[in-house]
Amino acid sequence: MKQKSVLIPNVVIGIIMVLFVLPLFIFREIPSYEVPAFIYDCSKDWDSELGKMDLTHLRFRSDGTITLTRMISPGEVRSGDLCLTSTNVSFIVYVDERMVYRYEPELPWIYGRSYGNDIHAIPVSTKGKDCTLRLEVTSLKTGRIRGFQDAHFENGSDYVRHILSSCLTHYYMTAVIFTFSFVIFIMGWFFRKGNSRRLETISLGVLGMLFSLWTESSDYTIVLLTGHAGLIRIMSYYSLMFLPIPGITLICHLTHHPKSIFQKIVTALVALNLILHITLLYLEVWDYHQMLYFTHGTLILTIIFIIFAIVRGFIQKSFSTHSSRILLSAFLILTITGILDIILFYCGHSARMANYSRLGFLIFVAVVGSYEIREFVRMLQSGREAEMMKHLAHRDGLTGLENRLAFTEWEQNLRHLKKGACIFVQFDINNLKEVNDHYGHNAGDAFIIAGANAIRQAFGPYGRVFRTGGDEFVCVLTTAAPSSTETLAVNNDVLINNNSPAALMKCYEACEQHLIDLLNSYNMTSGTPIPLTIAFGMAEYDLSQGNPEPQERLADERMYMHKNILKGKQAL
């Protein structure tokens, strides 16, 4: 079956599946109910000691607490829940002095003083009458956003579904970035040996995974899936903290300056920032948000170094025009979107802290990643061609056995082995000149192939067979590792474990007898006027000696002795 006939149906099915899935993300605002589900906004008009207040803009007393109350009626609540998302506050909910909910997370020191964002669906029952709803709220003293968002009376499951729907696009983009980056990282890791350029691919993969983990913490999807808001928050801070290292590494390798001083400076700054964070958190001096200045400062310095590295690359022409355009365009998009998000963060618009960076990085990963994938494809094609050329260079074209070059390399490997033993077996096909003279070289080639096949069948399963000349062959039988449990089988007879010189000799004797049987069978059935006979000689070699050549010569001498014996028999 042709490749296209298999490929086309799979491609069509894949496209159909994508067309089925995309509407789930693109048209998610289409209502799923003919009658709108019950929902009542309760974020405004709360009474407090400081006057009327909105849950999204809380003001706290000097002790960091505030008490909020409001009257609720059965028509407002119906059978719904008080649904809201909290940010860096603990709180208790009362209905007519009856406590119905308490949220006071216990945070280990590594979490800092806050947990980020969490989602709540609190059952509230009015029992058919007007009630007083009271919230006792305590700030976790983070210094930035504190309070509640998206406060409604509605069914809890509907609320969670609405939250997930509002975050789905961001989550989908993040998942794509992380998956793509993970694949790039794995590819770079497996192909890192012998190819220094793969370090840039590993850096790209790490950069993408760190970025995706940082941006996802601003959404609620992972919080809903894991139920662990605080861990998602510190994951975000540390991901942002480590971002400069793969970023500068990627640029330095793309600009062919892998030993740039910029990498050492950025690594030192990140390490210093990490030590500072852990120390001040443990001593409860500052929280993560108070140390963002150090992290952002490191990022800005890294961006300056990257710009300098790219400019230097252009001046020194250290990277090709094609790759430089790809790098520059992708990096500019990422830099602009990242700086824009940092500006919005310090302006107080941080509810979605990575809106623009996420889009910019998606473009960056797609552009640079596609370039890296093309490089991988080219490298794999080159590797396959090189492997094929190596295979052809080590194979004898007539018999398919390994050739003289392969034997020379194997001989060099034997010199480095210190334990074990081997047996060299030298072979020479008799009567080849007579066959060539009387029947032509085609018959001579067939004669060589028949001899090679007999040697391969007899000795090949237990050693390596080489064609070292026109009618000359060598086989090397070696002992297995001492821990081997493999057994050798020749002519259906099971031999003892091949882990000793005695076992090796027994293996050789069985192979020798097998070769004789094969030659006798061939001469009886082939009908050739000149019988196929092969002279052979063997010599044992202790690998600890470090020089196999004397034993090879000994095997060769014994082979010629056997050859003379066979000629004497033919003369009779």
Pair of tokens at residue 322: 């094609």
Report the chain's mean pLDDT, rounded to a whole number.
78
Question: Using the 8-state DSSP alphabet, how is residue 391 labeled?
Answer: H
Over range 296-304, report the average pLDDT.
Answer: 88
The token pair that represents 375 in the structure block? 């490089």
465 DSSP β-pair partners: 475
pLDDT of residue 482: 39
* Lowest-pLDDT range of 36-50, 301-315, 363-377: 363-377
**AA identity, residue 493:** D
* Backbone dihedral angles phi then psi of residue 232, each to the nearest 5 degrees: -65, -35
d(Cα 135, Cα 551) in Å, to the nearest integer? 93
Q: pLDDT at position 375, please?
A: 67
DSSP string of 129-195?
S-EEEEEEEEE---SS--EEEEEEEE-HHHHHHHHHHHHHHHHHHHHHHHHHHHHHHHHHHHT-TT-
The pLDDT value recorded for residue 256 is 74
Give me the amino acid identity at 54. Answer: D
Least confident of 181-185, 264-268, 446-450: 181-185
- Phi then psi for residue 441, to 5 deg, are -75, -25
- For residues 142 and 289, the answer to whether their CB atoms sit within 8 Å is yes
SS (H, E, C) 84-148: EEEECEEEEEEECCEEEEEECCCCCHHHCCCCCEEEEEEECCCCCCCEEEEEEEEECCCCCCCEE
| Alpha carbon distance 331, 367 (integer Å) | 10
Residue 214: which residues within 8 A CB-CB, separation 6 or more?
A: 235, 236, 239, 240, 243, 354
State yes or no: pLDDT of 240 exceeds 90.
no
Residue 134: its pLDDT value, please? 92
Per-residue pLDDT band at 252 (split at 50, 70, 90): confident
Backbone angles phi, psi at 516, to 5 degrees: -60, -45
Q: Give the pLDDT of residue 494.
A: 44
120-124, 237-241, 361-365, 562-566, range with the lowest pLDDT = 361-365
* C-beta of residue 166 within 8 angstroms of C-beta of residue 99: no
Question: What pLDDT score does 383 carry?
Answer: 60
**For residues 519-547, average pLDDT:** 87
Q: Which of 360-374, 413-427, 528-542: highest mean pLDDT?
A: 528-542
The answer to whether 220 and 167 have CB atoms below 8 angstroms apart is: yes
Banded pLDDT at 410 (limits 50, 70, 90): confident
Quick check: 427 pLDDT over 90? yes
CA distance 80 to 432: 98
Instruction: Name the CA radius of gyration of the chain, rounded.
Output: 38
Kindly report the pTM of this predicted structure. Answer: 0.57
Which DSSP category does 58 fall into? -
First vs last C-alpha separation in the chain: 59
Three-state secondary structure call for residue 482: coil
Q: Is residue 398 classed as helix, strand or coil in its secondary structure?
A: coil
Residue 428, judged by CB atoms within 10 A of its CB (0-12, 13-18, 19+), counts as buried
- Answer yes or no: are the C-beta atoms of 114 and 140 closer than 8 Å: yes
CA distance 459 to 490: 9
The secondary structure of 260-305 as a DSSP string is: -HHHHHHHHHHHHHHHHHHHHHHTTS--GGGGHHHHHHHHHHHHHH
pLDDT of residue 566: 83
User: Tell me, what amino acid is at 449?
Assistant: I
Which pLDDT does position 484 carry in this prediction? 41
* Calpha distance 133→475 (Å, rounded): 92
Q: Is pLDDT at 29 greater than 70 in this prediction?
A: no
537 contact partners, CB below 8 Å, separation of at least 6: 425, 426, 554, 555, 556, 557, 558, 559, 560, 561, 562
